[in-house]
Amino acid sequence: MIRLRPPRPATIALGKAARALTRLRGGSGSAFPGLVVERLDPGFLADVLAQLPRGVVVVTGTNGKTTTTKMVVELLRGQGLRVFTNRSGSNFTRGVVASMLGEIGPTGKLNADIAVLELDEAHAVHFVRAVNPQFSLLLNVMRDQLDRFGEIDTTARLLRTIAEHTTEGVVLNREDSRVAAIADSLGTQQVRYFGLAPELRSHFPSDDDLHGAGAAAEGVQPEADVLLTGLGTQQGTFRMGTEEITSDLTVNGAYNIYNAAAALALVRLVLGEATDRDALLGSLRRASPAFGRGESLTVGGQPLDLILVKNPSGFRLGLTSFSADGVATMIAINDNYADGRDMSWLWDVGFDSLVQQGVAMVSGVRTYDMALRLSYDGVSIAAHEPDLGKALDDFLSAHPDVPKRIFCTYTAMLALRKRLGTYTEVEAFN
Amino acid sequence: MTVPVPADSSSTDKQIRVLQLYPRDMNIYGDYGNALVLMRRIQWYGYTPVMLSYNPGDEFPADPDILIGGGGQDSGQDRIQQDLLGIGDRLRALAEQDTPMLMICGLYQLFGHFFETRDGSRISGIGVLDVETYGTDNRLIGNLVAESSDFGQIIGYENHSGQTYLGPTVTPLAKVVVGEGNNQRDPHEGARYRNVLGSYLHGALLPKNPAIADFLISNAVQQKFAQELPALDAPQSAPASLQELTEHAREAAAARPR
């Protein structure tokens, strides 16, 4: 469906005007300018992306999209490529269009060699029907927002469609049985895997393990192009091809380090023989997590970690990746659309690791759902306050001398970051 | 995730045995919370909870006092369906003996007569509940509030595309105030036959609806020990009591948009 003609200058001008108007009114939203452009020129996205010499890369999956996309972008930029990417949090087609309006020239030329786009599973399906990506990276399928997608198997089918519309190569998570199975329906595309050494798999329980469904059948697994073989504190060991490399990392937490393996596999597939190994390792060391995915701030001389939680597997990984010892913990749960409306998922997370320390503060729209969840796991709660701003103030002033950690859902994190901006410098988001 | 085991679990005198049906395949989205709430509350009422699981091919545990089951994906339902038919007689007998049971979503459907898919093929259920379910293209999703004459206001979250219709030998669990419930035609949510409850509500259901948890527990205790439930002795774990936390959680959920 790619039309080989540049987009109309009038469309671009109007889209840019809509974007300026949205910003002028104080909005950071990307939906409105994207909508204007889509209405005026439905082929806009395909037209602009078709001009990129190295094409389009799509990153999707339930967990880790944002950080992995950010790492892929940093690794490719380290190789000297000009990379267009969408801002985090706008991982739908209109968000891509809106990001584009900020970077496009009046004649519709994007100043980039390659586009790396983070797309939500459902939106990615729409996207790949309009624009066939050259490469895609499929991270995982976890229970997340079943209120939107219905079931995990439905989500897995979305990912399969994305892979089938990819023209050159697909990178799959070997350890996720639903993702790995997608290889069966691929014909001409190259297929590469990232994976875990067997002894590390217990760090990454899948949803199927949760109630005793057991690990995926132990058949013969395909060879992984990038295998994570060792995990340390801000350190990972990766086997790439025949070479094993231990690297210090800026990202923290087991799940972010496994995302680094995914990013490496994708970049190696995109660049092939031309990869500059030393530059790649340098970029790997420096790549930082996306905001809220293990983001560290300093407040009152003490570290404060913000950890985004949005589904059971992510919350479980967050709890097991960071020790609760000597840390004041706050949990903030909202139930807006972007958070997931259904609170059921909290019951698929075990909070035993917090029993010893207790939780200092529970907040958010669903404060009391969370408080009930903790109570039924025998975790004590020092304070509960639904108002996020007040809860944050109380939490910070009650625990001035210890490191702090906040587990929060997406919209709770946006509100908390805003409030944190009155205490410390918080990197602007979008 | 561990199920609480009290220190005196070796004693069998005050045991209440909770049997989870098909936890491996029918556990989608938080229904484990129902099991956890039952275990804790049984303990806080002064009894000894014992958690049993039954998965396809297992030996059916002797003398369960409460049975619970959850929802699954289509693939999970396919895996358990034949096995369920095999234990149907046993489950029907338990139901006739007034054994308390709570079946959510997928197992609610399969406790009925059948589930008819959109292409017209019928998946047989075990007919403990006089209900039938038809697959649709329409997924009913969102917060739900309903009024029950037995349990007061019931609050939960529904997410299903099968629509269920009740026959004459079951009564509706509740009348829907906000949401859809069993189907888009009548205003009912869930079904009850003797002490068997079926419902579409996740949330999980029992944490925010302790009246239903206590109905299951008090019936089990009544049948096994001929005793009335004493007052709940829940430890205070937060500035507010468990009962206050529950009330606040119910108010917050009931006030949320569909």
Distance from CA of A388 to the nearest CA of B (A): 15
pTM: 0.76
Q: Does residue A62 lie within any of the structural domains?
A: yes
- Residue B50 is predicted with a pLDDT of 97
Distance of CA A48 to the CA centre of its chain: 25
pLDDT at A347 over 50: yes
In the set B105, B113, B160, B188, the catalytic residue is B105
What value does the mean pLDDT take over residues A412-419? Answer: 93
pLDDT at A219 over 50: yes
pLDDT at A242 over 90: no
Higher pLDDT, A20 or B162: B162
Q: Count CB-CB contacts under 10 A for residue A325.
A: 9
CATH classification number, B15-255, choose in 3.40.50.880, 2.60.120.10, 3.30.428.10, 3.40.50.300: 3.40.50.880
Q: Which of A344, A380, A383 sits opposite B157 (nearest CB)?
A: A344
Nearest to B8 by CA among B47, B41, B66, B51: B47
Average pLDDT along chain B: 93
Best probe of the A interface among B25, B42, B237, by most A CBs < 10 A, is B237
Higher pLDDT, A45 or A229: A229
Higher pLDDT, A202 or A239: A239
Find chain B residues with C-beta within 8 A of A146's C-beta.
28-29, 159
Find chain B residues with C-beta within 8 A of A371's C-beta.
238, 240, 245, 248-249
Residue recorded with tokens 């909202």: A334
Residues A407, A328 share a domain: yes
CB burial of residue A35 (10 Å; 0-12, 13-18, 19+): middle
Residues A373, A276 share a domain: no
Amino acid in the structure at residue B255 = A
Dist. CA A147–CA A254, nearest whole Å: 27
- Residue A234 is predicted with a pLDDT of 83
Contacts of residue B204, defined as CB under 8 A and 6 or more positions apart, other chains included, come to: A344, A347, B30, B31, B32, B33, B34, B37
* DSSP run (H or E) holding B63: none
Which of the listed residues A286, A315, A335 is the one where a domain comes to its end?
Answer: A286
In the set B113, B160, B188, B202, the catalytic residue is B202
Q: Kindly identify which residue of chain B lies nearest to residue A367, measuring between CA atoms.
A: B249
Contacts of residue A38, defined as CB under 8 A and 6 or more positions apart, other chains included, come to: A44, A45, A93, A94, A97
The CATH number for A299's domain is 3.90.190.20
pLDDT at A217 over 50: no
Higher pLDDT, A142 or A326: A326
Q: Does residue A25 lie within any of the structural domains?
A: yes
Say what percent of chain B tops pLDDT 70. 95
pLDDT at B192 over 80: yes
Q: Strands (DSSP E) along A261-332, which ranges?
A: 293-299, 302-308, 328-332
Express each pLDDT in A157-173 by its tens digit.
Answer: 999 999 999 999 999 99
Average pLDDT along chain A: 85
Q: What's the number of CA atoms in the CB half-sphere (13 Å) around residue B223?
A: 19
Find chain A residues with C-beta within 8 A of B245's C-beta.
368, 371-372, 375, 384
The CATH number for A20's domain is 3.40.1190.10
Express each pLDDT in B28-70 by its tens digit.
Answer: 778 899 999 999 999 999 999 999 999 999 999 999 999 999 9
pLDDT at A147 over 80: no
Length of chain A: 430
Distance from CA of B33 to the nearest CA of A (A): 5
> Is A347 near chain B, with CB under 8 Å?
yes
pLDDT band at A110 (very low <50, low <70, confident <90, very high): confident
> Is B161 near chain A, with CB under 8 Å?
yes
> Is A150 near chain B, with CB under 8 Å?
yes
Dist. CA B242–CA B226, nearest whole Å: 27
- Looking at B56-164, list the stretches that DSSP marks H as alpha helix, in order from N- to C-terminal side: 74-86, 88-96, 105-110
pLDDT band at A214 (very low <50, low <70, confident <90, very high): very low
Residues A150, A199 share a domain: yes
Residues A353, A268 share a domain: no
- Beta pairing, strands B101-104 & A361-363: unpaired
Backbone angles phi, psi at A251, to 5 degrees: -75, 155
Dist. CA B232–CA B225, nearest whole Å: 17
Which three-class secondary structure state does DSSP give residue B164? strand
Which of the listed residues A269, A286, A303 is the one where a domain comes to its end?
Answer: A286
- Residue A62 is predicted with a pLDDT of 84
Q: Does residue A245 lie within any of the structural domains?
A: yes
pLDDT band at A123 (very low <50, low <70, confident <90, very high): confident
Nearest to B157 by CA among B170, B172, B141, B146: B141
pLDDT band at A207 (very low <50, low <70, confident <90, very high): low
Distance from CA of B39 to the nearest CA of A (A): 9
Nearest to A306 by CA among A190, A427, A198: A427
- Looking at A377-409, list the stretches that DSSP marks H as alpha helix, in order from N- to C-terminal side: 388-398
Residues A315, A236 share a domain: no
Distance from CA of B15 to the nearest CA of A (A): 20
Domains of chain B, residue spans: 15-255
Residues A139, A104 share a domain: yes
Q: Count CB-CB contacts under 10 A for residue A296.
A: 13
pLDDT band at A285 (very low <50, low <70, confident <90, very high): very high
What value does the mean pLDDT take over residues A343-362? Answer: 95
Q: Is B248 part of the annotated catalytic residue set?
A: no
Q: Do B1 and A352 touch (CB under 8 A)?
A: yes
Q: Which of B159, B161, B237 sits opposite A375 (nearest CB)?
A: B237
> Is A356 near chain B, with CB under 8 Å?
no
- Residue A78 is predicted with a pLDDT of 95
> Is B204 near chain A, with CB under 8 Å?
yes
How many domains are contained in chain A? 2
Q: Is B202 part of the annotated catalytic residue set?
A: yes
- Residue A3 is predicted with a pLDDT of 44
Q: CA-CA distances (angstroms) from residue B236 to A181, B66, B83?
A: 48, 26, 42
pLDDT band at A8 (very low <50, low <70, confident <90, very high): low
Contacts of residue A133, defined as CB under 8 A and 6 or more positions apart, other chains included, come to: A55, A56, A57, A58, A117, A165, A166, A167
Dist. CA B113–CA B126, nearest whole Å: 6
pLDDT at B74 over 80: no
DSSP letter, residue A204: S
- Residue A38 is predicted with a pLDDT of 65
- Residue A88 is predicted with a pLDDT of 57
- Residue A89 is predicted with a pLDDT of 54
- The four Cα atoms A299, A304, A310, A314 give a dihedral, to 10 degrees, of 170
> Is A153 near chain B, with CB under 8 Å?
yes
- Looking at A198-276, list the stretches that DSSP marks H as alpha helix, in order from N- to C-terminal side: 207-210, 254-271
pLDDT at A105 over 90: no
Q: Does residue A127 lie within any of the structural domains?
A: yes
Dist. CA A378–CA B236, nearest whole Å: 10
**Biggest alpha carbon distance in chain A?**
63
Express each pLDDT in A380-409 by its tens digit.
Answer: 999 999 999 999 999 999 999 999 999 999
Dist. CA A43–CA A85, nearest whole Å: 19
pLDDT band at A91 (very low <50, low <70, confident <90, very high): low
Q: Which of B55, B74, B245 sits opposite A372 (nearest CB)?
A: B245
Dist. CA B127–CA B89, nearest whole Å: 10
Say what percent of chain A tops pLDDT 70. 82
Residues A365, A275 share a domain: no
By residue range, what is the domain housing residue A339?
A: 293-420
- Residue A92 is predicted with a pLDDT of 64
Q: Which of A211, A348, A368 sits opposite B248 (nearest CB)?
A: A368
Distance from CA of B203 to the nearest CA of A (A): 4
> Is B2 near chain A, with CB under 8 Å?
yes
Residues A311, A191 share a domain: no
- Residue A25 is predicted with a pLDDT of 56
Residues A325, A247 share a domain: no
pLDDT at A376 over 80: yes
Q: Does residue A425 lie within any of the structural domains?
A: no
In angstroms, how far is the first alpha carbon of chain A from the final one? Answer: 30
What value does the mean pLDDT take over residues A254-264? Answer: 92
Q: What is the CA radius of gyration of chain A?
A: 22
pLDDT band at B22 (very low <50, low <70, confident <90, very high): very high
Higher pLDDT, A98 or B85: B85
Residue recorded with tokens 């897995």: A156
- The four Cα atoms B63, B64, B66, B71 give a dihedral, to 10 degrees, of -140
Which of the listed residues A286, A316, A336 is the one where a domain comes to its end?
Answer: A286
Residues A244, A299 share a domain: no
